[in-house]
Structure 1
Amino acid sequence: MQVFYATQFVLPLPAGHRFPMAKYQLLRDRLADELPAVQLRQALPATDGELALAHSPEYIQAISDGTVDPVILREIGFPWSPAMAERARRSVGATIAACRAAFNEGVAGNIAGGTHHASADRGGGFCVFNDAAVASRLMQAEQLRRGRRLRVAVIDLDVHQGNGTARIFRGDDSVFTLSLHGQKNFPFRKEASDLDVDLPDGCGDDEYLHALEGALGELERRFDPGLVIYLAGADPHEGDRLGRLKLTWDGLEARDRRVFEWAWERGLPLAFAMAGGYGKRMEDTVQAQVNTFGVAAQYWQRWQNRRR
C-alpha cells in the first residue's frame, strides 16, 4: 500500500507550541517497523497551478514568499518559514499522489494532510492549503482528460468541522462534503457542508457509530461518487485534549473499518489522510493513526486479491 510523506520538513515552532509536529515522524517510524505492507514514498510538492484549482493566486504567492497577512498567519497558527511553505505544498502533493495510487490499487494514504480549515484565500486552524480540495479538483481534471466526469465524496471524520472544504465546494454538485464533528468544538462559526452531523460533547462509541451509519446512508441516497477522500482524524478519541468526544480504541477502529468497508462494497477507490490528533499523550495519537493504517492495509490487500 502506497503511503506518502513529507516528514523531512519540520516547522521551527516556538517552545511550548501546542501543535504536535513530532507525531508525523513517529508515525512514519511505526509504519516502517510494524506494517510491511506499507510502501513509504516521499511526496512531491503541489505546483502553483495545482494549488490554484482551489486557492487564489494571491494567497498561494503570499504563502510562497512570506508576505502573508499577519492576521491570516495568526489564524493558521504557524509562524511563516520556508519549511512551512514547502511542507504545506508537500502535504497537498501527498494527497494528490495518494488519490492517483488509489485509482490503481484501491487504497492509498497520506501520513499528514486533512487540512480542512483552509479555504480559497486563507488558512486557519493549523491548515495552510486544503489538500482534499486541491486533490479533488485535480483528479476531476485528470479524469476528464480521459473522457470521464468524476464525482468525489469527502468523508471528513476529524472532530472539527471541515469548514474550509465546505466553503470551497459550496454550490459544486460534483463534490459531496460530509462532516461528522463536535457541535460545540472549533470552528465556532461553521460553514454548511452538503451533510453536517453535529455531535454532543461526550459522545461515545455507540452514538457515534449510529450517526456515522446514518450519514453514510444519506450520502449514498444523495450522491454517486467515483472517488472517496477520507479524513481519518484521531481527535475523536477519548484521550484527545481538544476533541471533547469519548471514542475508545475499539470505537475508532470500528469507525475506520466502516468507512473502508463502505467504499470497498461499492468498488470505490479511497485515499485517506490523517487530519487532526492532539492526544494528551502523543503516543495515543500515533497509536490511533497506526491503527487506521492497519485497517487500510487490510482493505488494500482485498483490492489486490480482487485484481488477481
Structure 2
Amino acid sequence: MLAFHYDHLTLALPPGHRFPQSKYQMLRERVERDPGRMRLRVADAATAAELALVHTPDYIDAVLHGTLSAAAQREIGFPWAPGLPRRSLCSVGATIAAAGAALEEGVAASLAGGTHHAYADKGSGFCVFNDVAVAARLMQARWHREHPDRPGLRVLVVDLDVHQGNGTARIFQDDDSVFTLSIHGEKNFPFRKEASDLDVGLPDGCGDEVYIEALETALAEVWRRVADRPPGLAFYLAGADPHEGDRLGRLKLSANGLLRRDRIVLDALFERRIPVALSMAGGYGEDLGVTVEVQRRTLDAAADTWARWQAARTV
C-alpha cells in the first residue's frame, strides 16, 4: 500500500506548544520497521491553483506570503514562519497523492493530514488548508476531465477524529456531490459546530460498545442516503484521539475498540468497492508512543484491505 509523508518539514513552535509534531516522524519510523507492508513516498507540495479549488485567493496569499493577521495565527494555533507554507502545501499534497493512488489501487494513506478545521477563508485548530476538501475537489475535476460522458464523482468523507470536521462540513454544505459524516465528542472542540450531512455527537467518557453501535448505525444511514448515487471515492479521517489516553479527546475508546472501528469502516467500503484515502488526523496522547501504535494498527488494517483489493482484481 502506498503511504505518503513529509515529516522532514517541521514547524517553528515555541517550547511547550501543544501540537505534537514529533509523532509524524515517529509513525514513519515505526512503519519502516515493518518492510513490505507499505511503499513510503515523500509527498509533493500542492499548488496554489489546486488550493484555489477550495480556498479563497486572499487567504492563500496570506498564508504563502506571511501576511496572516495575529488573530488569524492565533485561530490556527501556529505562528507564521517561513517553513509554514511549505509544510502546509505538502500536507495537502500527501492527501492528493493518497486519493489518486486509492483510485488506482483501492486504498492509500497519508501519514498525517485530516486538517478538517480549515475553512475556505481561514484556518483553525492546527489546520491551515483543508487537505481532504482540496483533494476531493481535485479528484472530481480529474474525473470529469477523464470521463466527460459519465456522471460526476461522488465523494464520501468519513470523519472519525474526536473533533467535529467543521471546516469540511461548511465547505461542502448544500453540495450533494460530497457526503460528510462526522462522529465526534459533542462537548469537545469546536464548540460551535457546523452541519455535516450526518453528525453524531457522543458524550464525554463514551467507551467502545456505545461508540461501535453509533458507528454502525451511522454507516447504515449513510448507505441508505447515498443508495441512489453511490460514492466513487471515500476519505477516512482515522483520528487516534478518541483513545482513552488522549490528552484532548475526552472519550474512552481502547486500542482494540479503535481497531474494530477501523475494520468496520474499511470492510464496509471494500464490500461496496469504494476506494479510500486515509488520513491520520488527530492524536494527542499523554504518551505519543501509544498514539503512534494506534495509528500503526490503523495502517495495518488499511494494508490488509489493500491486499483484498489486489486479490479481488486477480480473480
Q: Match for residue 20 of structure 2?
A: 20
The one-letter code matched in structure 2 to 1:160 is H
- Where 1:158 maps in the other structure, the secondary structure is coil
Deviation at 1:37, TM superposition (A): 1.6
Q: Match for residue 245 of structure 2?
A: 239
* 2:50 equivalent to 1:50: yes
Q: Is the 8 A contact 1:35 1:294 kept in 2?
A: no
Q: Residue 168 of structure 2 is aligned with which of 165, 170, 177?
A: 165
CA distance in 2, matches of 1:28, 1:250: 21
1:241-289 superposed Cα distances (whole Å, 9 cap, x missing partner)? 1000000011000000001001000001000000000001111111110
Q: Match for residue 298 of structure 1?
A: 304
* Structure 2 unmatched ranges of 5 or more: none
* 2:91 equivalent to 1:91: yes
* 2:158 equivalent to 1:152: no
Deviation at 1:35, TM superposition (A): 4.7
Q: 1:191 to 1:49 in 2, by over 3 A?
A: same
CA distance in 1, matches of 2:275, 2:35: 21
Q: Match for residue 100 of structure 1?
A: 100
Q: Residue 210 of structure 2 is aligned with which of 207, 211, 214?
A: 207
1:164-209 superposed Cα distances (whole Å, 9 cap, x missing partner)? 0000001111000100000000000010000000000000000000
CA distance in 2, matches of 1:225, 1:85: 32
Q: Is the 8 A contact 1:203 1:246 kept in 2?
A: yes
* 2:134 equivalent to 1:134: yes
Q: Residue 278 of structure 2 is aligned with which of 264, 272, 279?
A: 272
The one-letter code matched in structure 1 to 2:219 is L
- Where 1:230 maps in the other structure, the secondary structure is strand
* 2:181 equivalent to 1:178: yes
* 2:261 equivalent to 1:258: no
Q: Is the 8 A contact 1:155 1:228 kept in 2?
A: yes
1:215-262 superposed Cα distances (whole Å, 9 cap, x missing partner)? 101111111211010000000000001000000011000000001001
* 2:237 equivalent to 1:220: no
The one-letter code matched in structure 1 to 2:44 is L
- Where 2:120 maps in the other structure, the secondary structure is coil
The one-letter code matched in structure 1 to 2:191 is F
- Where 1:26 maps in the other structure, the secondary structure is helix
TM-score (norm 2): 0.97
- Where 1:13 maps in the other structure, the secondary structure is coil
CA distance in 2, matches of 1:74, 1:189: 17
- Where 2:164 maps in the other structure, the secondary structure is coil
Deviation at 1:36, TM superposition (A): 2.0
* 2:31 equivalent to 1:31: yes
Deviation at 1:69, TM superposition (A): 1.6
Deviation at 1:84, TM superposition (A): 1.2
CA distance in 2, matches of 1:25, 1:198: 31
CA distance in 1, matches of 2:176, 2:139: 15
The one-letter code matched in structure 2 to 1:263 is L
CA distance in 1, matches of 2:101, 2:136: 14
Q: Match for residue 81 of structure 1?
A: 81
Deviation at 1:82, TM superposition (A): 2.0
- Where 1:165 maps in the other structure, the secondary structure is helix
CA distance in 2, matches of 1:132, 1:204: 27
Q: What percent of counterpart residues are identical? A: 61
